[in-house]
Structure 1
Amino acid sequence: MQYQGVLKKMESEMGRPIQYYMLFDNDFLNVNQVLDKELQIDFIKYQCLRCGEDLPIFRQGFCRNCFFETPLAGDWIMRPELSKAHLDKEDRDLEYEKKVQLQPHVVYLANSSSVKVGVTRKSQVPTRWIDQGAHEAILIAEVPNRYLAGITEVALKEHVSDKTNWRKMLTNEVDDEDLLAWRDRLKPYVPAETMEYFLDKGGEIHMDFPVLQYPEKVKSLNLSKTPSYKGKLKGIKGQYLIFEDSTVFNVRSNEGYYVSLGIS
């Protein structure tokens, strides 16, 4: 079985276990069906997700020029407290920024490698948690725009991490945490500006990833250095493919790479 196309973030669907899909222009692959099979990945060329040109990918699937031009890579994406659409101020494309920033956002706690605070659009729950490889998560607040979510996250990350240790996440060195207790503990640090949006109710949400075998140590596959790789797929967690030889492949960090996928 052969697939070919540009890599993009895997789509996911909540289930027991979570279902993963790779989408191509004229086809799609349910990645769960490849578990315990040999998967061959061959890098063919680059294809920038914005201009479509065969140019080296700089970040987030974009060539260098597109990365600094597209509104999909504005600073407010990674730092929501920099959002300005609620002030009617443009960063790169005000129409796009209003569409994304001026909608309900949530502040949450997720446990991927340890407890971390994060922000996402309400419409991205639980996708965001799945992408991070979190096995449990809980909502802290639901606010009307991205800026308010951002300032809440900034306040809370003084008291809890906002990073994921991807190696611990992939080796499953993760302890269960009482996220309700964490939420109560962090409540006093929620800014006055967003306290009215704090969520006292709602319990933990749990994610079940399709992993047959976790690696003891991980070695990351870089297609720029290793353009051809073959291995037996043993799991999918976050946006990573996990192979029997402990190789892991981050699909999202390889967006914009045009590849051939062979399954045997």
Structure 2
Amino acid sequence: MIYEGVLTKMQTEFSNPIQYYLVFENNFLILNQLLDKNLEINFVGYQCLHCSKKKKIFRQGFCYDCFMSSPAAGDWIMKPELSTAHLDIEDRDLEYERKVQLQPHIVYLALSSEVKVGVTRKTQVPTRWIDQGAVQAIPIVEVPNRYLAGITEVALKNHYADKTNWQKMLKNEIPEVDLIKERMSLKYLIPKEVQDYFHPEKEDLYDLHFPVLEYPKKVSSLNLDKTSNYSGRLMGIKGQYLIFQDGTVFNVRTFEGYVVKISL
């Protein structure tokens, strides 16, 4: 069977193991059912996720023009501390920025390759942690806007990583860490403005289990711009990566906006 469409990040369902779906406009794949089976991926072209034009993807599924103009690609997306909607200051589109920034956000610790700190909207729990390939995660604070989450993350970056080592994550090279104890030690590291939102007594540690038959010892990333055709046996799914038997890994989210054909 052949499935064709524009790549967007894999949709997930929090269960044991996590369920993964690759959704196209007119059909979808239940990826867990394809474990230990051969897949062929063919690069067909581009389609910007914002304007839908067949223009080369620049970043985050957007063509260059849309990346530079869309409010969904503002700097505050990657750097929450730059959020200004709580001050009624517009970056690109104040109505959009109010909608996204002025809602509950979680600052968390996640264990993916090492302990990392991060920010996500409350509505994205636990999806954000699944996308990162975290095997455990725990909220630190829940705050009413993105700015407060951002300044908390900045304060904690002095003590924790803020990025996942994707190779260690995919090889499952993860240290044993007690995230509950880690959270208990954070009270005096977070900004004064956020202290009242710190509630370490909650029992809210998340355990995440990924559908992986075999972890690779070495990994090599598939780049559709360099390799337009690839075929391999699917051995696992973790984060937003497909893991193949030969150690090839494919980051679906990196190639959002790419049009592909997938043959089973």
Q: Assess same fold via TM > 0.5.
A: yes
Residue in structure 2 matched with residue 256 of structure 1 by the alignment: 257
Residue 5 of structure 1, CA deviation: 0.2
Output the CA distance in 1 between the equivalents of 2:86 and 2:213: 46
Q: Tell me, what secondary structure is at the counterpart of 1:21?
A: strand
- Structure 1 vs Structure 2 CA RMSD: 0.7
Structure 1 position 113 matched with structure 2 position 113: yes
2:139 alignment counterpart: 139
8 Å CA contact 1:37–1:232 kept in 2: the answer is yes
Q: How does 1:79-118 map to 2 (within 5 A)?
A: 79-118=79-118
C-alpha distance in 2 between matches for 1:199 and 1:242 = 37
Q: In the alignment, residue 25 of structure 2 is paired with which amino acid? A: D
Structure 1 letter corresponding to 2:171: T
TM-score, length-scaled by structure 1: 0.98
State how far apart, in whole Å, the 2-side matches of 1:54 and 1:20 are.
Answer: 27
Structure 2 residue matching 1:67: 3-state secondary structure: helix
Equivalent position SS for 1:110: strand
- Rounded Cα–Cα distance in structure 1 between residues aligned with 2:36 and 2:4: 21
Q: Which residue of the partner structure matches residue 176 of structure 2?
A: 176
Pairwise mapping of residues 58-77 of structure 1 onto structure 2 (< 5 A)? 58-77=58-77
Counterpart CA distance in 1 for 2:98 and 2:21 is: 29
Q: C-alpha separation between the residues in 1 aligned to 2:38 and 2:161?
A: 37
The match for 1:213 is 214
- 5+ residue gaps, structure 2: none
Q: How far does the alpha carbon of each residue in 1:217-240 deviate from its partner, in whole angstroms, 9 at most, with x for none? A: 100000000000000000000000
- Match of 2:158, SS? coil
Q: Deviations over 1:46-68 (max 9, x none)?
A: 11111111211110001111100
| SS in structure 2 at match of 1:76 | helix
Query: CA–CA distance in 2 between the matches of 1:247 and 1:194?
Result: 42
Matched-pair contact (CA < 8 Å) for 1:180–1:203: no
Judge conservation of contact 1:106–1:149 (CA < 8 Å) in 2.
Answer: yes
Cα displacement (A) at 1:45:
0.6
Helix, strand or coil: the match of 1:68? helix
1:226-237 correspondence runs (5 A): 226-237=227-238
Partner of 1:28: 28
For residue 173 of structure 1, give the secondary structure of its aligned residue in structure 2: coil
Structure 1: runs of 5 or more not aligned: none
Aligned-pair CA distance for 1:199: 2.0
The aligned counterpart of 2:42 is 42
Aligned length: 263
The separation in 1 between residues aligned to 2:204 and 2:144, in whole angstroms, is: 21
Map of 1:165 onto structure 2: 165
Q: How far off is 1:176 after superposition?
A: 2.3
Cα deviation 1:11-52 (Å, max 9, x = unaligned): 100011000011111111111111111000000011111111
| Greater than 6 Å deviation, 4+ residue runs | none
CA drift at 1:144: 0.3
What is the Cα deviation at residue 202 of structure 1? 2.3
Percentage identity across aligned positions?
65
